[in-house]
Structures are given as structure tokens and as C-alpha cells.
Amino acid sequence: MKIYLFRHGETAWNKERRLQGQSDIPLNEFGRELAMKTAGALQEIPFDRVFASPLSRAAETARIIRGERNIPFRTDRRLMEMHFGQYEGDAFDPPKTDPAHPLYPFLCRPEDYIAGRDAETFEEVTERGMDFLREQIIPLEGSCENILIVAHGAFNRCLLSGIADIPRKDFWKIGLPNCAASILSLENGRFRILEESRIYYEEKRK
């Protein structure tokens, strides 16, 4: 069985380089365009199930890729983006140059990151993602061939790290532009990463 794990299309906050977390920011027009181009390229893949984060940017991306096909669709809160607490909405470039900023470790030294008030740790996000896979995806092995999941950048990296035991220091080495897919296989209850960061569109803005 193959699992196509996508990041959602672009939003205004992506373009402005702001932390979104669990703030419900919708796709912008360019994000919808990326999703539509991706949908066209995936039209011949017979997806058996579609799952998405309930945040609108992911759910809309999933619906665009599904198109008019009659494929069961479900949202799951365990697929939501990592929660960044009080820093949601903040620009993420300034902390990269300020080692004293609480987000500096998250962005530059993830192995040293300590989550602030109301924020999630990498471990908490990884565990809810793996729980989703155990409960919703592993039971489909043998009855389904292709599964579509649309979630988020940090969440997807946490899930991939959990599957492949990627060291935390290498967290940001996993490239995931908007609407990029990580393709996984599931065989005998074990996941394997077949391909990282595949895009189905020309990577440029208008």
C-alpha cells in the first residue's frame, strides 16, 4: 500500500513567512492553483481513502486533489499542525538571527527546543501522528492500495522523523514546500519512506 503524505497549498501567512501552527489560515489563490495542478497530475491514481487535518488550508487542499471522485473523505484532529502557543502569527525569520529568542532552537537547533506555554513538543506531535497511523492507516493494509493524507509542514516532518528515526538535529533537512508529497509504503505493518518532497507542479510563482 502507498501513502501520499502531502503538505497543504500556500497561504498568506506562508507567503509572509509567519508561523501558522493551529491558527486556521485559508489557502490563498496561488495555494489553490498549486493544489489544482497537483490534482491534475494525480488524476490517474486511484485513491481509496482521503484523510486531512481539519484546518481549512489542509482540508481544502485535500478536497481539490480528490476532485469529483467519489472517495471517502475524513478529517482527523491528530493531523493538525504543531501548536506554537503564543508565537503563532509571528514572523519566523527574525528569531533565526537571535540566539536569545525562545524560537531560535526550534528553527536552528531543533534538538535543543523546549516548548513554551501552550505549545507542543516534537515528541507530542510525533506521538499523535503515529497514533493516527496505527488506528486509521495500518488497518487498511490489504484492502486499500493508495491513501491520500494532507497535513502540514512541521507535522509531516515529525511523522517522517518517527517513521524513519531521523535525528532531531536533522529535522529541517527534510524539504517540504507547499503541496509537496512524501510517498510512503506500508507492508506487513511497517512504514518505509519511498520518496521525499516530490512536487507535481513547476516550482515558481507568477
User: How remote is the C-alpha of 17 from its chain's centroid?
Assistant: 16
Identified catalytic residue from 33, 60, 81, 88: 81
Grid cell digits, residue 141? 493494509
For residue 73, the one-letter residue type is: F
Q: Is 51 exposed, middle or buried (0-12, 13-18, 19+ CB in 10 A)?
A: buried
Q: Is 124 exposed, middle or buried (0-12, 13-18, 19+ CB in 10 A)?
A: middle
Q: Is 8 a catalytic residue?
A: yes
Q: Is 81 a catalytic residue?
A: yes
Q: Which helix (H) or strand (E) segment is 125 a member of?
A: helix 122-132
Residues belonging to the active site: 8, 81
